Amino acid sequence: GAGVSQSPSNKVTEKGKDVELRCDPISGHTALYWYRQRLGQGLEFLIYFQGNSAPDKSGLPSDRFSAERTGESVSTLTIQRTQQEDSAVYLCASSPASGVYNEQFFGPGTRLTVL
Amino acid sequence: DAKTTQPPSMDCAEGRAANLPCNHSTISGNEYVYWYRQIHSQGPQYIIHGLKNNETNEMASLIITEDRKSSTLILPHATLRDTAVYYCIVRVYSGNTGKLIFGQGTTLQVKP
């Protein structure tokens, strides 16, 4: 079946512009995660959605970052007034639920370059 | 979540077993050990997880020491396609959060 999809695959923007990154999780997966991976680094957790519960935003690095999720489907990560340090691959993952037994399925990521 | 320590890199000959170690000396009783890997330019892929018993699936085996302070991921017959960064993650499920905390991982290079 279809996996997690993300769009765009690549995004180049100028410093100060806003960007929106999209994630389509696997159908039926109630949990959705956003991570960031800077060049040569491990993944950093950003935000997590689980059903109708309040999202865990503890990983968002600043108030320029926000994310929304429509029900249990698509999610959008928005970065306002982009800075060069925002350049990274942004990865989305979904899982059937948030329980410890459930693996996370990752999308291919969106590579963001801020000039 | 407990911190993990992994060697930054390892080599393995194609067809041989790859044994990737992970130290998690501060692990607590309700924390699981997870392994993910990330092949170049792709998102991470789940491999296996365990609590205290050894686990095996179609991809790998996970050996956890009796005191649970370390573990080893074993790829029984490594292929060139197993070249990737391997992440050992210790995770507790608490409340509403299922986030994974990734370290730097081990870069495994499988050589012909």
Q: Which residues of B touch A88 (CB under 8 A)?
A: none
Cβ-based burial of B109 (10 A; exposed 0-12, middle 13-18, buried ≥19): middle
Can you read off the two tokens belonging to residue A46? 């950003």
> Is B98 in Cβ contact with A50 (below 8 Å)?
yes
Q: Are strands B9-13 and B106-111 parallel, antiparallel or unpaired?
A: parallel
Q: Is B59 on the interface with A (CB under 8 A)?
A: no
How does pLDDT run across B24-51, given as a tens digit for each residue? 999 888 888 999 999 988 999 999 999 8
Q: Looking at residue B97, what is its pLDDT?
A: 57
Contact A75, A34 (CB under 8 A): yes
| pLDDT, tens only, B82-105 | 999 999 998 865 544 577 888 889
Which residue from A3, A42, A38, A52 is spatially nearest to A23, judged by alpha carbons? A3
pLDDT, residue A2, reads 82
Please state, in angstroms and rounded to a whole number, the distance separating the CA atoms of residues A15 and A87: 10
B92 touches chain A (CB under 8 A): yes
The DSSP letter of residue A70 is -
Give which of B1, B91, B100 to mutate to test A binding, by max A Cβ within 10 Å: B100
Q: What residue of B is the nearest CA neighbor of A47?
A: B99
Search chain A and give the residue with CA nearest B34.
Answer: A103
A56 contacts B104? CB cut-off 8 A: no
Provide the token pair at A108.
């291919």
Q: Do B100 and A43 touch (CB under 8 A)?
A: yes
**How many angstroms away from the CA of B96 is the closest CA of chain A?**
7
Instruction: Say whether pLDDT at B73 is over 50.
Output: yes
* DSSP state at residue B48: E
Best residue in A41, A52, A103, A110 for a mutation probing chain B (most B CBs within 10 Å) = A103
Report how far residue B112's alpha carbon sits from residue B97's, in angstroms, rounded to the nearest whole number: 41
% residues pLDDT > 70 (chain A): 94
